[in-house]
């Protein structure tokens, strides 16, 4: 028999001091502080021997499995919510038909909608000849457009802006490229409300930080800075500014890929035919950030006007340190 070793722990069931004679070292390593008598009693009690063995020797057996199950359940719940949203969005849109005057006849085999009021075009609300020529608009909306053209002097300018917005909206699905957003944003000049300043807090800020900081701190914030710079749609000048802005946006969206292609072709040409271009090294592109920066000696020569003289090591001359 070897020397009895004390673990300075007590059995969590009977309170007996745990030593190398009364318990196993594996129990202590697994932080299962129990003696042999309590372990054997728990193993044979109730007839669930395997379950009691697992609970005694490996209490954290199902901990990892439970965590995986919890995360899988969260993922399943998210998938179910997503599928429910998709099933709701797929629902058929309710079609609006005009009130028929007598017998309603669909002009084409496909039910074409008016782009403004979204009513189905029939012989009740549209002329067949006009629809066959590609003008998908009902008589009511066409009448409203005609009245607007007669009353609004800026109808042609707004129509041109609207056509550019439709082209931009087809390319980029953003809210500022829709006519509804532009109409609500630029038709009427927004009045900026000046907030009331607390006099006591303003005087306190002047005493602490000075008048210059207080004027910047309590400067009223304007929400219509963009609208003030472009003007409103009620003036021809505002229409021209907005038109030039959206024309530039359309130009950028059309030529974005072209500019990238030109830059790429230029770089490829320089790599093939310009040796000076290949000598240059950009430390920001590629490489290891821990490496030292490498300078081009020919590039330095051109600016310092000095000739590059490589240092030759001579074994007979002693280097001065």
For residues 146 and 118, membership in a common domain is answered with: yes
For residues 127 and 163, membership in a common domain is answered with: no
- With respect to residue 170, please indicate whether it lies within any of the assigned structural domains: yes
Three-state secondary structure call for residue 113: strand
Contact 71, 93 (CB under 8 A): no
- With respect to residue 200, please indicate whether it lies within any of the assigned structural domains: no
For residues 43 and 116, membership in a common domain is answered with: no
- With respect to residue 72, please indicate whether it lies within any of the assigned structural domains: no
For residues 104 and 166, membership in a common domain is answered with: no
Task: Specify the number of domains making up the chain.
Answer: 3
pTM of the model: 0.43
User: 68 is written with which tokens?
Assistant: 């995986």
Scan for tokens 């710079």, then name that residue.
229
- With respect to residue 43, please indicate whether it lies within any of the assigned structural domains: yes
- With respect to residue 201, please indicate whether it lies within any of the assigned structural domains: no
For residues 141 and 160, membership in a common domain is answered with: no
CB neighbours of residue 39 within 10 Å: 20
Domain span at 12 = 6-57
pLDDT digit string, tens, across residues 238-287: 888 888 888 888 888 888 777 778 888 888 888 888 777 777 766 556 65
Which of 144, 146, 138 is CA-nearest to residue 107? 138
Q: Check pLDDT > 60 for residue 306.
A: no
Q: How many helices (H) and strands (E) does the chain have?
A: 14, 2
Report the percentage of the chain scoring pLDDT > 70. Answer: 72
For residues 171 and 97, membership in a common domain is answered with: no
What secondary structure letter does DSSP report for 4?
A: -
Q: Check pLDDT > 70 for residue 221.
A: no
- With respect to residue 216, please indicate whether it lies within any of the assigned structural domains: no
Average pLDDT of the residues in 130-139: 87
pLDDT digit string, tens, across residues 179-217: 888 888 787 776 666 667 788 888 888 888 888 888 888
* Helix segments in 187-280, DSSP class H: 199-209, 211-217, 225-230, 236-273, 275-279
Residue 318 confidence (pLDDT): 59
Contact 36, 23 (CB under 8 A): yes
pLDDT digit string, tens, across residues 145-192: 899 889 988 888 888 888 888 888 877 777 778 888 888 878 777 666
For residues 178 and 260, membership in a common domain is answered with: yes
For residues 113 and 166, membership in a common domain is answered with: no
What secondary structure letter does DSSP report for 136?
A: -
């Amino acid at each position: 028999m070897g020397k009895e070793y004390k673990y300075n722990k007590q059995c969590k069931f009977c309170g007996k001091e745990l030593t190398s004679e009364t318990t196993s070292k594996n129990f202590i390593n697994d932080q299962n502080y129990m003696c042999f008598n309590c372990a054997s009693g728990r193993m044979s009690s109730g007839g669930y021997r395997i379950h009691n063995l697992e609970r005694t020797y490996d209490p954290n057996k199902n901990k990892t499995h439970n965590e995986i199950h919890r995360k899988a359940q969260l993922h399943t719940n998210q998938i179910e919510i997503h599928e429910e949203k998709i099933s709701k969005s797929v629902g058929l849109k309710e079609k609006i038909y005009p009130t028929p005057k007598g017998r309603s006849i669909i002009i084409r085999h496909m039910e074409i909608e008016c782009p403004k009021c979204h009513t189905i075009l029939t012989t009740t609300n549209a002329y067949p000849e006009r629809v066959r020529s590609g003008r998908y608009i009902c008589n009511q909306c066409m009448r409203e457009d005609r009245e607007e053209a007669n009353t609004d002097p800026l109808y042609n300018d707004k129509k041109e802006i609207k056509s550019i917005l439709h082209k931009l909206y087809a390319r980029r699905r953003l809210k500022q490229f829709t006519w509804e957003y532009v109409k609500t944003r630029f038709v009427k000049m927004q009045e900026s409300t000046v907030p009331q300043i607390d006099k006591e807090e303003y005087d306190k800020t002047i005493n602490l930080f000075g008048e210059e900081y207080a004027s910047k701190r309590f400067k009223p914030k304007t929400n219509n800075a963009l609208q003030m710079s472009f003007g409103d749609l009620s003036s021809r000048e505002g229409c021209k500014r907005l038109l030039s802005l959206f024309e530039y946006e359309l130009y950028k969206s059309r030529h974005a890929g072209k500019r990238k292609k030109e830059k790429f072709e230029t770089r490829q040409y320089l790599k093939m035919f310009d040796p000076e271009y290949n000598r240059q090294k950009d430390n920001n592109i590629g490489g290891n950030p821990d490496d030292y920066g490498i300078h081009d000696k020919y590039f330095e020569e051109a600016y310092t006007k000095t000739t590059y003289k490589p240092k030759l090591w001579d074994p007979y001359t002693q280097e001065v340190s």
